[in-house]
Structure 1
Amino acid sequence: MQEHLVFSITLIGVVGIGAQWLGWRFNLPAIVLMAIAGLFLGPILGIMRPEETFGDFYQPIIAVAVAVILFEGGLQLRLDELRGLGKGVRRLVFPGVPIAWLLGAGAAHVIGGLGWSASVLFGGIMVVTGPTVIIPLLRQAKLSSRPAALLKWEGIVNDPIGALAAVIAYEFFFAPNTGEHDLTTAQLAASLLIGSVLCLLEGIAFGLGIARAFRKGWVPEYLKPPVLLAAVLLCFELANLLQEEGGLISVTAMGVTMANAKMPSINQLRHFKENIAVLFVSGVFVLLTANLTPETLMLLDWRAGAFVLAMLFVVRPLTVWIATIGTGLPWQERALVGWIAPRGIVAVAVSGLFAAGMEQRGDADGEMLVPLAFAMVFATVLLHGFTIAPLAKLLGLASTRPPGVLIVGSSPWSVKLAEKLKELDLPVLISDASYRALRPARQAGIDTFYGEILSEVTEHHIEFVRYGYLLALGGNEAHNALVCTDLAPEMDRATTYQLSMQGTEDSRKGISYSLQGKTFISEKTSLDTLLQKHYSGWTFQFTRLSEAYPPDRYRAALPTEAMIVLVVRRDQLLFQSAEQRLELTVGDRVLAYVPPGTGTKPKEEPSQENRSPEIEALEERKRAALEKVGG
């Protein structure tokens, strides 16, 4: 039995994380891959049956995972960022959430065939739109800032609200069935209200207490992540003692409180919780899918399909159009937001948590919640994932240009580089905390951002989805490394570069390689070095390689001290770095930084088929003259 349990845990972990990796590797929705993997392990191949394997631990495992996932979601919610988004997000929360809850409950009862109690519960769960699914879709579609912000923050805010709605519905309809209490509706409502408020206050108190302990230095840095995880679990269990499933309210409130407590180490804690949440998301998703049976899947008849269609084409669009009346949003943005609403792990996990409780109380509708939730996840992730980019382009809400370059650090050298990048018709933005340093960039007509790139409000002013490459070109190597470390999760570490001042990581003065981006150009290329060359008259030069002017001839003509900066290859930018030297191929367009002086500038020779008659005649006269002299 013990060996079988260990095998099941190992299999769930390997399959879940493997699905996450495949989703990243092939740009596929990981949530769908995890669900497919779980279906193969459970109802299709019958390799495992989690509810039988884990027994009494099955429901607690799901409950703890949901608690950590909701806490991590709350930890992303910074209230100061919401204030800058206008009425859009506020209206999507209220009256958007009540409208979506009411319409979703009606669709679940009338079309899906659930009883009213289960319909109200499931309608609350379906309010959740899943930030873990939406954010990768936004990055893929390259949406403009306002619709992207609306979808992102609606998902983050509605995550805990949807869970709260489900808790309230569950407590109201199913908790009284235990037979321990005989309460009137008014008494039950008052009990729920008081219990919810107490759970909310407990979560806030835990958040403030942990934030204070961390600020005061009462907990060492290396113990902060495990202390935080233990505090989350303690908060969750204490709230559950106050009110059944009230822990979901408490951990969400705790996360939101800590996110807004101005903690200096919040980013490191947020990354740790993201990692823990990924593990739980992977495990729980496979666990819930594998627990389905062929008999349960057979319950997904035409009514389930009709319910999914109603949620997609009636409930969501109608909710958004009603909620955004008077907000001033153009119809294109309302149409896009009205279509995009993918459900994610929270919807499935909360459904699984309450379904288990409903089945224990003998409610037949409980076995339908998880299959319906999975049906919604599959339909929304697939349909919205494949349609968001073309729909956004059709509505004029997405950039059709290739990914641009974000340059952090304004200097005469970086401005000249930005001018060359603009020749490629790419979005280029130079950011600097010095308004004076940005003056040459403004004069050159380059987009600029004045402010600290690491500020929490930066993402309100910079559309990060427009940029696929980061160049940290400031004179402070520590700041460059901090920028790369902070923005790598947003920009992708593979396309994050920085200047190095001290050389290799073996230098006692150098910064650890693990904290840096890729070393731009070479180990010994600092900003001071580049500025000296700039004031000595060095210039940037593009050269197109061809069959007539292959890479070997180009390198032979290139001065020894010249630097290859980047290569444009099939609309892709490949920057030179110390970690990976560029291999040039025919068809590349090479940008080099070359010294002044005649004869040092490599030139592309015209191919034979492109030579004009005048050039051919001149070459013929040269050959004739040489032959005459030789004779």
Structure 2
Amino acid sequence: MTTDEILFGVGLTFVLAVGSQVIAALVRVPALIVLLPAGFIAGALTDDIHPDRLLGAAFQPLVSLAVALILYDAGLGLDPRKLPGGMRRVVIRLIMLGVGLSWATAALLAVPLLGMSGDAAVVLGAILVVSGPTVVGPLLAFVRPKDRLQQILTWEGSLVDPIGGLLGAVVFAAVLDHSDSFGGQVAQFAISLGVGLAGAVVGTMLLWLLLCKLQLSDVLRNCGQLAAVVAVAAACDMVRDDTGLIAAIIMGLAVVHLPGVVRFERRPVSETLVQLIIGLLFVSISSTVTPASLHHVVLPTLGLVAVLVVLTRPLAASLATLGSGLPGSERTFIAWMAPRGIVAAASATTFSEGLVNAGIKGASKILPATFLVIAATVALYGLTAVPVARRLGVTAPEADEHRDEKSR
């Protein structure tokens, strides 16, 4: 690419990332509903926006580091004191049951619906277990549910991303290496988890030094945190794929509890930066999906989405909240909130290429199918979450007052 083409592509990506969010704010819909089609249409009309052309081999590592920053910021906003024992059990069950049931459902249905081989279907299933703060956070900010629901869904969305990312990486490696037994795969997952935890310990110590021992200005403290998260996440990913995500969110959870650190009134990784990163990621990744790749995939994938939305998520939510004491309205809303996000898209981009190169049947359908699942779930939950929450009576009182003021 020429310099002018690169400048045009980078500029257009930023314009779409921010412009889509401006348009969404004006028409009062979640920004994700505008970001995905904006990136897809731009990618279909021009090659200049394609990240593989703009960034080449650097694209995937940059996506991983960007997601690590988002998870670190999400971790800063997670306060265990607002999650008592009963709610904590609900979150753990939601993650365990949600991951297991979503993986099994997607893997089993991908074979007959999408014509995938068992290997490709298992990888697709592992990819689709994630949700994440990139989609749950913006939707909850738009809906403004009661604090208890906000806490449960935020914790679930933030924790399932790194767990799902590790699961996808381990399953992908296992498919390429059929000699590895189930016990070996479990061991690989445990090793990856250990690498992430070790990175989190080192990163937290580094943050303690920056925030508690060195007399730095607020600007340098914030820059130091960004650098520490990126450095630790990069080092972890160099050792084991996607382990940087585990390290990043644990660092975020730990830093606000360090001795001598005053709890942040504003998260140092500013909302502006995170919002910009989300916009850039969704526009960039959606631009990699070509219209031709969607042929013969749309209807089968919508069938898969229907099962995930109508059967799998409600079943997981029902079992996870059983005996929790949550009222039926809140259990129902939890069952109606499971969008897929950027980690799924990033994993699909990486894994599909590797499986295609390995000659795995149906691997070329992983990326378009994942894109459609993300687009369909974001659109469905984004457009219905507010009316569903209001119908169930689970919105916070101040949220209704805020909307009434904006409508006048």
TM-score where L is the length of structure 2: 0.86
Amino acid at match of 1:377: I
State the 1:40 CA deviation: 1.9
SS in 2 for 1:127: coil
Matched ranges for 1:127-526 at <5 A: 127-174=129-176, 176=177, 186-187=183-184, 189-217=186-214, 219-261=216-258, 264=261, 267=264, 270-363=267-360, 365-398=362-395, 404=398, 465=399, 468=402
State the 1:311 CA deviation: 1.1
Amino acid at match of 1:52: R
Give the match for residue 92 of structure 2: 90
SS in 2 for 1:270: coil
Q: Is 1:62–1:349's contact at 8 Å kept on the other side of the alignment?
A: yes
Q: Is 1:35–1:289's contact at 8 Å kept on the other side of the alignment?
A: yes
Give the match for residue 5 of structure 2: 4
CA, structure 1 residues 573+334, in 2 after alignment: closer, same or farther (shift >3 Å)? closer
CA, structure 1 residues 396+163, in 2 after alignment: closer, same or farther (shift >3 Å)? same
**CA root-mean-square deviation:** 3.2
Q: How far does the alpha carbon of each residue in 1:249-272 deviate from its partner, in whole angstroms, 9 at most, with x for none?
A: 333333333244366365367242
Amino acid at match of 1:58: F
2:356 and 2:122 mapped to 1: Cα distance? 17
Give the match for residue 73 of structure 1: 74
Q: Is 1:208–1:258's contact at 8 Å kept on the other side of the alignment?
A: no
Amino acid at match of 2:252: G
Instruction: Out of 3-12 and 113-122, give the one that drifted further.
Output: 113-122
Specify every segment of 5 or more residues in structure 1 that has no aligned partner in the other structure, as ranges: 405-464, 470-570, 575-587, 589-631
State the 1:307 CA deviation: 1.0
Q: Is 2:289–2:371's contact at 8 Å kept on the other side of the alignment?
A: no
Higher strand share: 1
Amino acid at match of 1:34: L
SS in 2 for 1:267: coil
State the 1:359 CA deviation: 4.2
Amino acid at match of 1:258: V
* Counterpart check, 1:117 vs 2:114: no
2:342 and 2:239 mapped to 1: Cα distance? 26
SS in 1 for 2:8: helix
Amino acid at match of 2:69: V
State the 1:81 CA deviation: 2.4
Q: How far does the alpha carbon of each residue in 1:433-485 deviate from its partner, in whole angstroms, 9 at most, with x for none?
A: xxxxxxxxxxxxxxxxxxxxxxxxxxxxxxxx36539xxxxxxxxxxxxxxxx
Q: Is 2:293–2:365's contact at 8 Å kept on the other side of the alignment?
A: yes
Amino acid at match of 1:163: G
Q: Is 1:34–1:286's contact at 8 Å kept on the other side of the alignment?
A: yes
1:360 and 1:166 mapped to 2: Cα distance? 18
1:329 and 1:82 mapped to 2: Cα distance? 14
Amino acid at match of 1:56: A
State the 1:209 CA deviation: 2.6
Q: Is 2:117–2:361's contact at 8 Å kept on the other side of the alignment?
A: no
Q: Is 2:9–2:48's contact at 8 Å kept on the other side of the alignment?
A: no
CA, structure 1 residues 398+256, in 2 after alignment: closer, same or farther (shift >3 Å)? closer
CA, structure 1 residues 354+233, in 2 after alignment: closer, same or farther (shift >3 Å)? farther
Q: Is 1:240–1:246's contact at 8 Å kept on the other side of the alignment?
A: yes
Q: Is 1:73–1:159's contact at 8 Å kept on the other side of the alignment?
A: no
Q: Percent identity?
A: 29
Q: How far does the alpha carbon of each residue in 1:406-457 deviate from its partner, in whole angstroms, 9 at most, with x for none?
A: xxxxxxxxxxxxxxxxxxxxxxxxxxxxxxxxxxxxxxxxxxxxxxxxxxxx
Matched ranges for 1:545-584 at <5 A: 572=405
Q: How far does the alpha carbon of each residue in 1:88-123 deviate from its partner, in whole angstroms, 9 at most, with x for none?
A: 323323444333333343333444443333333333
State the 1:139 CA deviation: 4.5
State the 1:71 CA deviation: 2.8
Question: Which residue of the other structure, out of 103, 106, 109, is the alignment partner of 2:105?
Answer: 103
Q: Is 1:17–1:279's contact at 8 Å kept on the other side of the alignment?
A: yes
| Larger RCO of the pair (alpha carbons < 8 Å, separation 6+) | 2
Higher helix share: 2
2:182 and 2:92 mapped to 1: Cα distance? 31
1:3 and 1:375 mapped to 2: Cα distance? 32
TM-score where L is the length of structure 1: 0.58
2:133 and 2:198 mapped to 1: Cα distance? 25
CA, structure 1 residues 340+42, in 2 after alignment: closer, same or farther (shift >3 Å)? same
Q: How far does the alpha carbon of each residue in 1:24-66 deviate from its partner, in whole angstroms, 9 at most, with x for none?
A: 2321221121111112211245554332343333333323323
CA, structure 1 residues 90+248, in 2 after alignment: closer, same or farther (shift >3 Å)? closer
CA, structure 1 residues 27+345, in 2 after alignment: closer, same or farther (shift >3 Å)? farther
State the 1:197 CA deviation: 0.8
State the 1:360 CA deviation: 4.9
Structure ID, larger Rg: 1
SS in 1 for 2:269: helix
1:364 and 1:50 mapped to 2: Cα distance? 26
Amino acid at match of 1:123: G
* Counterpart check, 1:63 vs 2:64: yes
1:261 and 1:366 mapped to 2: Cα distance? 45
Amino acid at match of 1:73: A
CA, structure 1 residues 108+328, in 2 after alignment: closer, same or farther (shift >3 Å)? farther
State the 1:214 CA deviation: 0.9
CA, structure 1 residues 275+299, in 2 after alignment: closer, same or farther (shift >3 Å)? farther
Q: How far does the alpha carbon of each residue in 1:376-396 deviate from its partner, in whole angstroms, 9 at most, with x for none?
A: 222222222222233233334
1:305 and 1:573 mapped to 2: Cα distance? 35
2:245 and 2:287 mapped to 1: Cα distance? 24
Q: How far does the alpha carbon of each residue in 1:117-142 deviate from its partner, in whole angstroms, 9 at most, with x for none?
A: 33333333323333343344445445
Amino acid at match of 1:320: A
SS in 1 for 2:402: strand
Amino acid at match of 1:72: D
Q: Is 1:76–1:156's contact at 8 Å kept on the other side of the alignment?
A: no
State the 1:152 CA deviation: 3.0
Amino acid at match of 1:36: P
CA, structure 1 residues 154+204, in 2 after alignment: closer, same or farther (shift >3 Å)? same
2:290 and 2:256 mapped to 1: Cα distance? 40
State the 1:85 CA deviation: 5.5
1:191 and 1:158 mapped to 2: Cα distance? 18
Q: Is 1:196–1:249's contact at 8 Å kept on the other side of the alignment?
A: yes
1:95 and 1:145 mapped to 2: Cα distance? 23
